[in-house]
Structure 1
Amino acid sequence: MRPALLACLALAAVAAPPASAQDALDPRAAFYELRIYYPAPGKLAALNKRFREHTLALFARHGMRNVAYWNEQPTATAPEGRVVYVLAYPDRAARERSWQAFGSDPEWRAVAAASEADGKLVAKVESVFMTMADYSPALTLPR
């Protein structure tokens, strides 16, 4: 991962306001997950639509803090680009509980089935688990 992208991710982790006081996480203590989705050929627009219209709200419902989302510019290895995003959780155990609940949510299952009626939207997913470094400039931003 490029250092500039990681710096942007750290900044976004602190700069993005929580949806509610209940969602507030101390950026120094939060457990972050960087996720990279490689869209199936021709499916980037449908993947973005699913995130926009359904997934973010479902993530929030299951205790995942939506930090920031990006569309990577196309490259030789990812001609449509990739969807890159960061979620935050209080800790690793909370992350596991959230994903388990999300995966079994009947609404998510219906959304996934409908959006993938013409084929899978995602060819590959990568996850990177992170904690904020104590020297991160993002820690000096107002919360």
Structure 2
Amino acid sequence: MPREIIVLAALAVAAPAPAQNHVVPAPVYQLRIYELYPQTKAAFHDRFRDHAMRIMKRHGFKIVSMWETGTADKPQFAYLLRWPSEDRMKAAWAAFMADEEWARIKRETPAAHRPIVGEIQDRTMRLTDYSPPM
């Protein structure tokens, strides 16, 4: 085999592979806003803080932040979730809603604290191509 062919073959093997454009999908955000009742607001926060957050974490939820909003007579609780994809979001919510521990906790919420939440607003949000990085 001529020397030039051997050198070219060695260079081809040693050359780095062409850069591959791996597009990482942008995360999906989910905004949830719960209507609360003044008389059960504390019970809601206790249940969310002490139980829901722990169970959500077990199912892969990434809570970005949480807020109280609304007014004194119409309190609301809002939180933002970050997901790698809409498919992952849907699968995690299905697992959370089917979680036996969560179902038991909801059943065991004292009758005096029911209903604990009213209307729930749920918005799936996708970043625009001109959004600042998060």
User: Normalized against structure 1, the TM-score is what?
Assistant: 0.69
Q: How does 1:1-143 map to 2 (within 5 A)?
A: 29-74=26-71, 79-118=73-112, 119-137=114-132, 139=133
CA–CA distance in structure 2, aligned partners of residues 37 and 73 of structure 1:
10
Alpha-carbon separation, structure 2, partners of 1:116 and 1:128: 29
Q: Which residue of 1 aligns with 2:15?
A: none
Deviations 1:33-53 (A, max 9, x none): 100000135111111111110
Provide the rounded CA distance (Å) in 1 between the counterparts of 2:110 and 2:96.
17
Q: Is the 8 A contact 1:32 1:130 kept in 2?
A: yes
Question: Which amino acid in structure 2 is aligned with residue 132 of structure 1?
Answer: L
The runs of 5 or more residues in structure 1 that have no matched partner are 1-25
Deviations 1:80-131 (A, max 9, x none): 4200001111111111111111011111011111225332201110011102
> So what's the TM-score if we normalise by structure 2?
0.73
CA distance in 1, matches of 2:108, 2:92: 22
The structure whose Rg is larger is 2
How many residue pairs align between the two structures? 110
Return the alpha-carbon distance in structure 2 between the equivalents of residues 73 and 123 of structure 1: 13
Q: Are the counterparts in 1 of residues 37 and 74 from structure 2 also a CA contact under 8 Å?
A: no
Moved over 6 A (4+): none
Q: What is the alpha-carbon root mean square deviation over aligned residues?
A: 1.9
Equivalent position SS for 2:121: strand
